[in-house]
Structure 1
């Protein structure tokens, strides 16, 4: 709907009293342009004002309530900060409250329900705090009691959390030197911030408007300095959405731990005694059949997603295709024509709350993609889905595929064409992130059950054909069995009782579900909870992946570059091939001290967690030790000269952060590569949390794998009589890692003492062996001060290149 601008003429009055005396012309709006919709609004381009006319306040002082969220129209372009175009802030219930000559913008607190309160009551319990985030003067009081307020200052408030994001990575090295992240000390400068009146758009159910916000700091970090033209002053265009509160008719779905998803918490003090007052509503769109009932039916209002027209072809078509997979799940759940995907039409604002958007974002370095929701905090109803896709992830994927099959396959259309494979990955990524905005969480066990869900993190499935890596089956196509069950539970079931039956059926057929808490960290206990892993059995898959990795390394060379491409690019392309096994290492390690458990409900089956069998834990230990052999960690001699080619040109942060760090400038150090490969395995195997679980399981069952057995097998496999430098480096890294684990404050006392005793034994043997490196290392391990220094230096000198879309273990998350 379009609204015609209208110039309102008349005399500008100096006070509310004068405005009240002349009701016919409302001269307070002199020189403004009216844009009426959800509220009567006027913009004053000359004076930079944005005037809202609020209804007369009720007895409690509240004039009107909306859903409110702020989002970014322009981003920083630095992946670690998540300050991306399309990022949204929290959704709040915003009340405008008249207080004398002031109007307060107050975020209410519907999370805490007053005793007996209706679900849709936005006010919440008076026993809990609200937040007044802004207070402005009443510009005029009109004859009907409505008030005019200038919203321009409110719109420049930091309601996205920009300052926190800019300051989150300050001085990551802990040295007190220049900050290594975005910076420190950033704060909003009111003098360099202003609302943009001409941006305002008013519709019957929403108002959309922008503001410029500038953040200043004398100590910007490298992420900001790499991008901003003036790093000490960083400006953003911030968008605000005021949305009519959704009306009655939406049926909240109670959260079920067996199916997961995203939820809105409610603390209901009207709950019967004996029932928990804390509960959750599963977030979902309002989706209603034209003909209610179990039979398939068209819907009253379909869920429509729009793909950002900035996405280039053929990526745009791939996203339309992949996101459209969800239509199959909704059709299977009985909703005809309920889900569709289109390219964003020209002239449509992607931040307009009426449109669900898949944004295509550019950043200076590769980073996570994520899905977000604007959600009614009273009920869990999703009002808008907003996806951010990072464009460089596709280019990084192509780098990996070129490193596997060679650059000559580019744009050939073959099964191994890196562009074809990247588009297959993009279809899956589009479906994954939109799945989040539909209300679905990660399921990191899906990869162990025949690619059961797009909500897992999929690595490329790399086969071997004729001894060469093959990508013909790199990614699945279409929605999975878990995804269909999730849609049936969240949308298809007409009520909670029916939803319970859907969840029970999923459990009964053996579907696995593992969410972030039990998967994301490398040391979690759930044996099926791996990220970027593949295959039904993580233990056997690691053995297979090591074979694939060796084939890829043996073939690696100039054929991985396109003609004319700088040879220095081989250094970047080699890293993900050298560490091709890193995720399978982590996945296999989760069987050690691990268990098989589910998010069960009483009486639903699978209530008891079962430790991984002793045989499987020992099998996992064996395959992990195989990744620490000299054969596994040796870089072929022929590659070292090729990987030593220097780069020439301007600084390129995207290139620099992807490399193995060496002490020789561009000259490649194969022992650093061995260090990094060993660290992947040792860090997973010797995690204090993992060893604590191993110790606890062994205390219950003496036949189970124990910490002593792990340490003895690890030392026997790595500390050998070989005198070559690679074997010595592996032994050094192993022993220092054991010392670091023993000295770690989070390591349990019994584990620390056991490792320490074994270290004293092996150190004494090395000190008396007579050869130079062993005797020196043995003496250092026996002297507390020298050992502490050794541990500190070891941890500082082995930086592992980023793994996940960026940041390695930095904690960045795909939402």
Structure 2
């Protein structure tokens, strides 16, 4: 009893002196108490800390209870206190929660519907921990890029060598005297621009927006046993605003960001699985300093879900915990069945990996008490936009192990809506304000945007979000083309059963592709080449084996050639590669008991699965593999013979032009619809034609290992196939007969004249620029064929093949020149050269002159051959002008005289420069 009286006396004296302004040391001295003895008492220790918070916070030792008094207490992983009157939210952190890793996922819950600011976008995910430093609490992002064994001496140096990132230093509001729990105001953390919205808005909207504290507040706040879920609504303002049409006043906008802070799953039996470059998984990689291996210092784990069989003794059993996808209650009713089927398509693959019904689909109820961004739920989300047109399937992953923890697929309503509006002008009006989207010419020609200059990119396919967005728009273009085919060639109306079935096939395939990403799979751009062209519309094959080797490719709509019964437009089942990849990622190793298992133990087991990679239907090529080299690792191609398949599609396009020319529009329909249809068919024609150029100087490439049953990683395209390609390019791209349209059709291609927000009227040419469209396409193909990288590859391939088996640069140059200058280089009766051919010839001449005058990159042999071709062309022009000037029209005469003069001056300039 005396002890408790003594404690009460000590506390009373301390409190008195603290209240009158003395420091803790002075109060301690007056009370004549041993400091170290006091520090052993929890309440005194916290009094000491409380006194250091600041001059006006000397009473903070009891302030904890005053702050939380009258608030709503939400207990869970962290305890939250919400004051409904002030709107403030406080976070309570226990001592044992300090310096412990947690997963943060950040989602843009509401957007503005344009310019890359869309609802449902995943903004960030990372590991973080709280660290107390004096009277502040640091919010620290964990560095997970470098590791070593905990028992290794080098562990001591890693923290000094590679810094974590302290994003915020938060002021401690109070500390509970008994529990030592720390209380902070969440405004100090989540009313800041933690997700980096300010630079995102500046980049996307090209305007400076400031975060306004007075317009920002907390929305829903919840705490659960393993996670907390918090909405922050941020108000932004800009004095000038931005060029936006979705906002009533672009000087102000609001964005909702959803935060999930969740417990990191540890010691749950999950075993990281080692990656293999022959199988396409997203990976979690780190540099391991515990292994003195200079050849391969990185450890790579595949990203995958934690699936455990309910009965490990059976060859196939349900998982203990299946992967559950929820269809958001915002998804229209008519699309839910297609989405469900697209998700469940993957259960076939999991059966071969030993799991029955590994994936389940559930419908989010209309009165659900959770949000789609909640880290506990995997959702298929639906959003609307003015200009997006994409779907995306990101995952949230434990960066220490590669375990997938959460996945949310977002689908823009435009992906489906625009297909059913067959006559809509979607493709023409959706233009990035920064200019046209750049596309690789070997992937597809630039989209035909109405009355805007055409550009063609020479860069490679982007990765990450840019490629996803490009995929969405291109996928939409492909799907719209298929719907147009149904309409033009089969007279299907938007509401017909055939059209509804088509939309169902498309959406199911789209969702299957995105679900594949959420299972850990990367793109496989070799997946579309499994079947021969004549097998593509045989449903006995496509419903069993599959239409493609992998749904993870960027797949075009499969349109049957003329005279062939139409089969599946899009895959109805996943492909052999998809099943094999899931087997690699999820099949349970029988070699070692789970309790004793470490990743390296599975190496031999995984190697046996990966050894199947040389099988043609298991071919794999992903984003970094589809540069110009491999003609079968491509996007928007189909079948093992792209030359034949593309020819079929270009023939289909020509038939469609004929139908459009014969009065396709209904009575009273605007001619602007005809212009939109013509553009879409022209774009489809261009895209298929440009697939051919990859055969020139092409080489197949496989991610093979030395033990695989094959000898070469690279196999050049045969000389016969390359010569066949040049013949097809001449016929479908360069020939005078390639583009013939009636005056009636061209004079009906009127633009839309609706002028209002979201529907701008073009301010340049009103009539249709047919010469410009054709020349831009021909130029793109021609410059791609004579690109310096391709010429260098052709020269290298001559050393990789036997003599006479490679397409030489001289043969390429000579073939193109003869195809393009046929009117001059043949001995036939001279005739006027058409305007389209003159434009093509001028562009060819420009390319050769640039090589000779060294204004562009080219190998030296290429420059020499360009000089040689110019000399031959000069002689032919001079001969024609001397022999038959009276038979040529003024257009042709002027064209040839100027061309000859340019060659002469260029060759003379080259001689003078030397």
TM-score w.r.t. the length of structure 2 is 0.75
The alpha-carbon deviation at position 555 of structure 1 amounts to 1.5
Residues 200 and 210 of structure 1 are in contact (CA less than 8 Å); yes or no, is this contact kept in structure 2? yes
Structure 1 counterpart of 2:245, from 226, 237, 254: 226
Secondary structure (helix, strand or coil) at the match of 2:816 reads helix
Q: Which residue of 1 aligns with 2:648?
A: 544
2:261, 2:513 → 1: CA distance? 28
Deviations 1:704-757 (A, max 9, x none): 112232222112112243422222223234334555677675544443454355
The alpha-carbon deviation at position 601 of structure 1 amounts to 2.6
1:508, 1:157 → 2: CA distance? 53
Once the two structures are superposed, the pairs formed by residues 698-777 of structure 1 within 5 Å of their partners are: 698=798, 701=801, 703=804, 704-721=806-823, 722-737=832-847, 745-755=856-866, 758-759=869-870, 762=873, 766=877, 769=881, 771-777=893-899
The alpha-carbon deviation at position 505 of structure 1 amounts to 2.2
Q: Which residue of 1 aligns with 2:629?
A: 525
Give unmatched runs, 5+ long, in structure 2: 1-52, 423-480, 532-547, 590-601, 824-831, 886-892, 910-914
Which deviates further from its counterpart, 497-506 or 67-76?
A: 497-506
Against the structure 1 CA distance between its residues 419 and 389, is the aligned structure 2 distance closer, same or farther, given a 3 Å change threshold?
same
Secondary structure (helix, strand or coil) at the match of 1:581 reads helix
Q: Which residue of 1 aligns with 2:765?
A: 664
The alpha-carbon deviation at position 146 of structure 1 amounts to 1.6
Structure 2 counterpart of 1:681, from 781, 797, 801: 781
1:229, 1:783 → 2: CA distance? 59
Which deviates further from its counterpart, 201-210 or 504-513?
A: 504-513
Q: Which residue of 1 aligns with 2:719?
A: 614
Once the two structures are superposed, the pairs formed by residues 1-400 of structure 1 within 5 Å of their partners are: 18-21=59-62, 26-56=65-95, 62-78=98-114, 81-116=115-150, 125-143=159-177, 144-168=179-203, 182-191=204-213, 194-196=216-218, 198-216=219-237, 224-248=243-267, 249-273=269-293, 276-293=296-313, 295-346=315-366, 347=368, 348-398=370-420, 399=422, 400=481
The alpha-carbon deviation at position 265 of structure 1 amounts to 1.0
Against the structure 1 CA distance between its residues 259 and 627, is the aligned structure 2 distance closer, same or farther, given a 3 Å change threshold?
same
Larger Rg: 2
The alpha-carbon deviation at position 324 of structure 1 amounts to 1.3
2:143, 2:769 → 1: CA distance? 57
Q: Which residue of 1 aligns with 2:584?
A: 489
Secondary structure (helix, strand or coil) at the match of 2:523 reads coil
Q: Which residue of 2 aligns with 1:801?
A: none
The alpha-carbon deviation at position 134 of structure 1 amounts to 1.5
Deviations 1:68-88 (A, max 9, x none): 12110012322xx54321111
Structure 2 counterpart of 1:444, from 492, 500, 525: 525
Q: Which residue of 1 aligns with 2:550?
A: 453
1:344, 1:778 → 2: CA distance? 72
Deviations 1:215-250 (A, max 9, x none): 5556766xx523333334443111111010111221
The alpha-carbon deviation at position 655 of structure 1 amounts to 8.0
The root-mean-square deviation of aligned C-alpha atoms, in Å, is 3.2
Against the structure 1 CA distance between its residues 22 and 73, is the aligned structure 2 distance closer, same or farther, given a 3 Å change threshold?
closer
2:764, 2:850 → 1: CA distance? 23
Q: Which residue of 2 aligns with 1:172?
A: none
Against the structure 1 CA distance between its residues 244 and 312, is the aligned structure 2 distance closer, same or farther, given a 3 Å change threshold?
same
The alpha-carbon deviation at position 422 of structure 1 amounts to 2.3
The alpha-carbon deviation at position 677 of structure 1 amounts to 3.4
1:464 aligns with 2:529: no
Secondary structure (helix, strand or coil) at the match of 1:539 reads helix
1:690 aligns with 2:790: yes
Q: Which residue of 1 aligns with 2:5?
A: none
Q: Which residue of 1 aligns with 2:444?
A: none
Structure 1 counterpart of 2:507, from 389, 407, 426: 426
Against the structure 1 CA distance between its residues 542 and 421, is the aligned structure 2 distance closer, same or farther, given a 3 Å change threshold?
same
Residues 266 and 280 of structure 1 are in contact (CA less than 8 Å); yes or no, is this contact kept in structure 2? yes
Secondary structure (helix, strand or coil) at the match of 2:837 reads helix
The alpha-carbon deviation at position 185 of structure 1 amounts to 4.7
The alpha-carbon deviation at position 368 of structure 1 amounts to 2.9
Q: Which residue of 2 aligns with 1:631?
A: 737
Against the structure 1 CA distance between its residues 63 and 697, is the aligned structure 2 distance closer, same or farther, given a 3 Å change threshold?
closer
Which deviates further from its counterpart, 439-448 or 743-752?
A: 743-752
1:456, 1:774 → 2: CA distance? 47
Against the structure 1 CA distance between its residues 756 and 96, is the aligned structure 2 distance closer, same or farther, given a 3 Å change threshold?
farther
1:297, 1:669 → 2: CA distance? 62
1:510, 1:404 → 2: CA distance? 29
2:666, 2:319 → 1: CA distance? 51
1:290, 1:123 → 2: CA distance? 43
Residues 16 and 142 of structure 1 are in contact (CA less than 8 Å); yes or no, is this contact kept in structure 2? no
2:191, 2:847 → 1: CA distance? 50
Against the structure 1 CA distance between its residues 82 and 641, is the aligned structure 2 distance closer, same or farther, given a 3 Å change threshold?
same
The alpha-carbon deviation at position 366 of structure 1 amounts to 4.6
1:189, 1:45 → 2: CA distance? 23
Residues 376 and 382 of structure 1 are in contact (CA less than 8 Å); yes or no, is this contact kept in structure 2? yes
Q: Which residue of 1 aligns with 2:465?
A: none
2:666, 2:235 → 1: CA distance? 43
TM-score w.r.t. the length of structure 1 is 0.83
The alpha-carbon deviation at position 767 of structure 1 amounts to 7.8
Deviations 1:249-289 (A, max 9, x none): 21111111000110111111112445522121100011111
Secondary structure (helix, strand or coil) at the match of 2:169 reads strand
Residues 558 and 567 of structure 1 are in contact (CA less than 8 Å); yes or no, is this contact kept in structure 2? no
The alpha-carbon deviation at position 354 of structure 1 amounts to 0.8
Structure 1 counterpart of 2:702, from 598, 601, 617: 598
2:84, 2:158 → 1: CA distance? 38
The alpha-carbon deviation at position 342 of structure 1 amounts to 2.3
2:566, 2:89 → 1: CA distance? 56
The alpha-carbon deviation at position 413 of structure 1 amounts to 4.3
Deviations 1:535-579 (A, max 9, x none): 111122222222222112211258655665432022122222112
Against the structure 1 CA distance between its residues 202 and 756, is the aligned structure 2 distance closer, same or farther, given a 3 Å change threshold?
farther
Against the structure 1 CA distance between its residues 328 and 64, is the aligned structure 2 distance closer, same or farther, given a 3 Å change threshold?
same
Secondary structure (helix, strand or coil) at the match of 1:229 reads coil
1:123, 1:360 → 2: CA distance? 47
The alpha-carbon deviation at position 53 of structure 1 amounts to 0.5
2:189, 2:736 → 1: CA distance? 63
2:663, 2:486 → 1: CA distance? 9
Residues 687 and 741 of structure 1 are in contact (CA less than 8 Å); yes or no, is this contact kept in structure 2? no
Residues 212 and 237 of structure 2 are in contact (CA less than 8 Å); yes or no, is this contact kept in structure 1? no
